[in-house]
Structure 1
């Protein structure tokens, strides 16, 4: 019995000795990464990470930012380690930012490199930036002390409550390698000292090709997800004047009905939206059902018009962020991706039908 116990204890010691253990106080955990174009072959890698500075018996949190020039992500991390006071590790990355000049040439190889790293989660956020990422990561004041959380919180709350469609690294790669759908990412720009989401970046495979502002992103989210959240402002005609109403999406669902297949497919897109009016200008009486019905009709027509325009623009660019290809492929035996993209998709017809219901008009009544 003693012999068995000794053998078991010895095995446990050997197994424990094989584990790659790292003491948290002896490493630095990277929270954000930014990639910018440096020259034809090299990129500028910028990272931020927290450092605890001891001041007497207390410690204060300080965020540091480092940048290096390299061709690959792993060499960049090695170079960063030559400038850091402790080893840098990828164990806490929340957001990876790509400068637009990098995204125009393609991001697949960089995203795949991060995805293959076992220390990086697949549900971290990716985004594209207008301007250099190292400048956008350089926040001021209190935001600099929480830069690692700042960008992930910014993207997450806009996905959950505003106009940005659902996205993360796993979903981006899923759409990237899909034959019937193209990927999208949030687009960030620095206004003054404050970064803000300004819309959505559209991709042809892994290359950035165009962007949508927040109002068009709102339409894309409705057509793509049919989900809760999102706010947009609309112009309406009331008593011979232009007024504005702001509608918050409470709930929406979208259904794609294939009406014909030959010679080219035609889809009816049924979009049902339940919303609230959160603000308006002019003398609109929201207690009058007739005026509310007029708003429903006017806004519904605008969403339809913008949805139709958006789909046609996607066809001109030969990109499919909505996923018509996935819907067509699900009922096709001999699926040919090139034939779909080059010949069928550009001729596909889509008719957006909007059923908008204003549930209530909030406290402004």
Structure 2
């Protein structure tokens, strides 16, 4: 039997004691981070990329356990993150600006701008005498209480020189906006075009012939819209998780554009009663009208134009008489975006 000096045995034991925990730590898999995510609305084609990314394992690859809940308004999606109920959401950047003016330490941060053009509009019947923004004075407009188009109406009114106090508002359930207009229970409705356009199609109404659209973007409101926002706490404590969340969603958007049928199939797994043809048409409408704009094609989906974004904050500050005007960097953070080449898409 070979004799091993006691000194060597002790040194070996010491080395094992020191390096074993380090080896175990190095080999241990990264912990999975649970993230609660709330949408802006009920499940629709415009949410399909989240579920496609989930089914393809993109969140799992980033060590994220994502739970997605339906929402009740893109502005409310912001307040739910502020309340701590959710760590992330698909919400309205303009609501973030307003929140940051009064509660800068609590306001969430936009990290992936999906709607390069805010899809806000006033819709009315084509037979209506409402043809311009100014024609809305003295009229009754419907909207859910948490709707972003309703919350942004004062900006539209200010820009077009009308008195918002001379407009009567009727609060209604989200699923009744189109019905109440068609039944003449309201004279107009403040809507998200990507939602209402296809809801009208589902009710056998031609949204191009039977409905008149007064788009905010065509009446002096150069605002961005919805995107992925996260809490400041998540950015501070787990910036790598935020980057992973954005990467996974970006891949989902990429794949939804390349194969919209697969995206709608992923959505239908969660909501089997959806009309797949209608929701695919809604998805394509959103992509072509508010996501893949010329600006987004140049800068990549998820980013903003700094000058335009600064102008939009100025508009909001003036219209809402904000006590403080937040800096763009306090509202939007592009540092988590994948490279531009990975965010430049086109619809086939």
TM exceeding 0.5:
no
Structure with more strand by fraction: 1
Which of 1 and 2 has higher RCO (CA within 8 Å, sep 6+)?
2
Structure in which a larger fraction of residues adopt helix = 2
Structure having the higher Rg: 1
